[in-house]
A and B are shown apart, each in its own frame.
Chain A
Amino acid sequence: MSSAAHTSSETSQDLLLSLAGVTKRFGQLVANNAIDLTVHKGEIVALLGENGAGKTTLMNILFGHYVADEGTVTVAGRDGNLEQLEPGAPQAALDAGIGMVHQHFTLAENLTGLDNIVLGTEPIFRLRRDRSSARAKLAELMAGSGLNVDLDQPVHKLTVGEKQRVEILKALYRNARLLVLDEPTAVLTPQEADSLFAILRKLAATGLAVIIIAHKLAEVLAVSHRIAVLRGGAKVGEMKTSDANHKSIAELMVGREVPASRRTARTPGKPVITLADVTIDRGDSRRSLHGVNVTAREGEILGIAGVSGNGQAALAQLIAGLDKPDSGTVEIFGEKVTKFDAHTFAQNGIARIPEDRHHDGMVGSMTVAENIAIEDVRSAEYQKLGFLDFEAIRKRAEHAIADYDVRCPGPDAPARLLSGGNIQKLILARVLEKSPKLILANQPSRGLDVGAQSEVHRRLLEARQGGAAVILISEDLDELLTISDQIAVIHAGHITPAMPTDSIDRSELGLMMAGQKAAPHAPDAPPATTTTNPGETA
């Protein structure tokens, strides 16, 4: 109990939730192995672990979506007595005051925030709905927590951050005493994340217990009181946040030392692709670009920072040759492009790591080997007398599997059996083995765990060292600041001039991503000026 204490006054009276010896097996796989976890009132506990470590399974057991094979879940009743929670009953978890905010929101988009919150809280067969008392209770909750949101808007009109607030209000409206948040910051800008953390601390101060499932270390260190680390389904460590440091937790999560990615100095070469004053107008700001100037040079990683849905898709489509500009020019190696199609672009040495690796990066029903070859079936390497040379394809695949450590049953396994991290390694193998001149990496490490993420970064840096240009579209500031040489910010279809990474202030970058701050440089000013503003921190 003392390890959990963050206040000196803590007693067993404050114990809210206790998981003891929870084990869950799926066939041969042990997803949770004898996990113990306690949470106290007013405490923020971070549950850390890589993908597949068992975090989500554990929370699904707590929330009644799964039934544990062994172990017990005990919750303190509102009267303070500990009671075992009925397994496999979401309603029992709700009644016990456990609220969950899933990573993918469970909101009905066409309904208003108010309707989503009230849904299921009234007896269902009633002639009228009582909205006014719901409104009154919510106004009180919003005032007390700072969770402000317009409850009469249909949810699809809200921003991601606002939707998350509706989710949290949903739990609080049901008098939740324990709030579980699954990867809450995955979809937020840094500013939104900071404000979420402020709200969570405020709520914790009023006695709400919070479990945050996460794999981003910096955030966990910022917000939690205590950290529990899962690896391979077992709890491998637990500590007070004040005793923890970045490196030790990362190693605990991964189970080995994580090599820190580091750029080495390199002089950029000539421009590979140049977009000059490019406009693509699709009516919708997510898919449009307005007068964009971007240059990617050999041996340089150009980061494009932005909250997703600000025109990244249009940019990625354009650079892959899948769309053409309404106005402006695109030059590849100084030559103006006239024919916009994916094949021409690929032949010019442009390779892409698509944003949605499952949907655009591979064909799930085809084998690993076929997926490796799929972008180059026209090349002589894979053909014999005009037919596909499956022997050669298999050989290439076997090399790729070994070189890139793709964990799969073999080259003939269907690609859909691979985990997200391994699919990304497969795509890296396909892309990098061609020695491309330009790599378009769109959110290459989103959703990957620390190990796979550092692998992606290492490979991209290696390609840069070998002289490739890299355009890295990302929402992850840590990633951008670690591996890019220059960073430009995309917001509402506008892209700022690129700024050298070393001159960039983290919090300003966040503000620019949110569109609240203009680029510090005039378009043709030399990029050497420093812009750090010490007075401004988030």
Chain B
Amino acid sequence: MEIIDILLAASFWEAAIRIATPLIFGVLGALICERAGVLNLGIEGIFTAGAMAGWMAVWLGAGLWGGVLVAALAGGFFGLIHAILTVPLGLSQHVSGIGVTLLATSLSYFTYRTALPDVSSPPRIEPFRPLDIPFLSDLPFIGQALFSQTAMTMLALVLVFVTGWVLYRTPLGLAIRAVGDNPSSVEAQGLSVYGLRIGAVVVGSSLMALGGAFLTMSAFDAFFFGMINGRGWVCIALTVFASWRPGKALIGALLFGAFDAFQVRLQTEVGAFLPSQVFLMMPYILSIIALIVVARKADYPKALLVPWFKGQR
């Protein structure tokens, strides 16, 4: 009974969408990179960098949207490092990605500590407010669940549509899908393999950084150590779950958000006789099960992880 009550509450869905928002940014970013053939394990570090850079920019006096821009630029910068190492230089995408995660995370912490050497708790900023859209926000249920989110959540939802449109309806998207499938097909048609791949990784990484920025500028109002807490890795798994499709990526992120919101509520209901760690594990276990069911049939971009060199055939 209680379970049904939980699922029917607008506040539950409001939380699910809020929890899903950074994952939507992250999984869209990962999907764009991988569609072009580059696995970006820098995602966890890029989330951290985005969270840190966006928040610090606002704290230093930039507007909230200025902070979002700074976060995107920081993500793009680390994406560029990863792209240069893996695309023209053709290094192992795994090694480079983990290196970027370590570098971006450490640099973020270092910057934070250098800027704020003595504080025990970080200074707070004024984060994005929940929207109050005339009429829409007043609708029953959906008004609270969807239309009272912050502007960044709306941006994430719009980006799902934009990414889908670009990938499937524009010549650029066709070229990105082709370069992740067989780079030689792109070169033979006179397009630049390196240009497409580097561009996709930089843009994808910028989106990942927005996922981080959402945490410090919308969900919370400050930067903490360890606050990304594996969200980047979850996005990598969700990309496979989504079969590299933006629409399915949205569903995957919402599913994960719902699991997470559900465990918090369940904990308060039946937490008396089950240790809380069991509930914390739940979204992850359910994602693994979902992955096993879905990903076994997944149609990987054929050239994912395969470096390409000019003149080689």
Contact = CB atoms under 8 A, between A and B. Distances in A.
Nearest to B196: A124
Interface string B163-202: 0000001111011011001101111111100000000000
Interface string A105-128: 011111100011011111111111
A102 interface: yes
A94 B187 CA distance: 11
Given A110-B177, A119-B185, A102 B170 contact: no
Contacts of B186: 108, 119-120
A126 B175 CA distance: 12
A270 interface: no
A120 B182 CA distance: 14
Most chain B CB inside 10 Å of its own CB: which residue of A107, A116, A119: A119
B182 A90 contact: no
Given A109-B302, A110-B181, A111-B181, A90 B190 contact: yes
Nearest to A167: B188
Nearest to A65: B311
A242 interface: no
Interface of chain B, helix or strand or loop or mixed?
helix
A115 to B, nearest CB: 6
Most chain B CB inside 10 Å of its own CB: which residue of A66, A106, A116, A127: A106
Given A65-B311, A109-B302, A116 B185 contact: yes
A266 interface: no
A279 to B, nearest CB: 27
B184 to A, nearest CB: 4
A434 interface: no
A116 B186 CA distance: 9
B182 A108 contact: yes
A128 B182 contact: no
B281 to A, nearest CB: 35
A353 interface: no
Contact of B191 (A66, A111, A120): A120
Contacts of A245: none
B230 to A, nearest CB: 30
B162 to A, nearest CB: 11
A355 to B, nearest CB: 21
A395 interface: no
A91 B190 CA distance: 5
Interface in B130-182: 169-172, 174-175, 177-178, 181-182
B313 interface: yes
A100 interface: yes
Contacts of A120: 175, 186, 189-191
A121 B186 CA distance: 11
B185 A107 contact: yes
Most chain A CB inside 10 Å of its own CB: which residue of B175, B188, B311: B188
A109 B177 CA distance: 10
B169 A111 contact: no
Given A109-B302, A126-B171, A121 B181 contact: no
A129 B172 CA distance: 9
Given A66-B311, A90-B187, A124-B191, A108 B181 contact: yes
A129 B169 contact: yes
B170 A127 contact: yes
Contacts of A126: 170-172
Interface string A468-489: 0000000000000000000000
Given A94-B190, A119-B178, A106 B169 contact: no
B97 interface: no
A128 B170 contact: yes
Contacts of B172: 124-126
B94 to A, nearest CB: 23
Nearest to B182: A108
Interface in B286-303: 299, 301-302
A122 B171 contact: yes
Given A65-B311, A90-B187, A91-B190, A123 B171 contact: yes
Contacts of B171: 118, 122-126, 129
A111 B302 CA distance: 11
Contact of A106 (B174, B175, B182, B301): B182
A125 to B, nearest CB: 6
Nearest to B244: A110
A420 to B, nearest CB: 15
A246 interface: no
A104 B191 CA distance: 19
Contact of B302 (A66, A110, A128): A110
A115 B187 CA distance: 15
Most chain A CB inside 10 Å of its own CB: which residue of B169, B177, B189: B189
Interface string A74-101: 0000000000000000110010000010
A124 B173 CA distance: 9
Nearest to B172: A124
A523 B50 CA distance: 72
B170 A121 contact: no
A165 B189 CA distance: 16
Interface in A183-206: none
A108 B187 contact: no
Interface in B91-120: none
A100 B170 contact: no
Nearest to B191: A120
A127 B178 CA distance: 18
Nearest to B168: A129
A109 B185 CA distance: 10
28 contacts: A90-B188, A91-B190, A102-B184, A104-B184, A106-B182, A107-B182, A107-B185, A108-B177, A108-B182, A108-B186, A109-B182, A109-B302, A110-B181, A110-B301, A111-B174, A111-B185, A115-B177, A115-B178, A116-B178, A119-B175, A119-B185, A121-B189, A124-B172, A125-B170, A126-B170, A126-B171, A128-B169, A129-B170
The 9 closest A-B pairs by CB, nearest first: A120-B189, A108-B181, A106-B188, A106-B184, A108-B178, A91-B190, A122-B171, A108-B182, A108-B185
Interface of B: 169-172, 174-175, 177-178, 181-182, 184-191, 299, 301-302, 311, 313
Given A100-B188, A108-B181, A124-B172, 8 more contacts: A104-B313, A106-B188, A108-B302, A115-B177, A118-B174, A120-B175, A120-B190, A123-B171
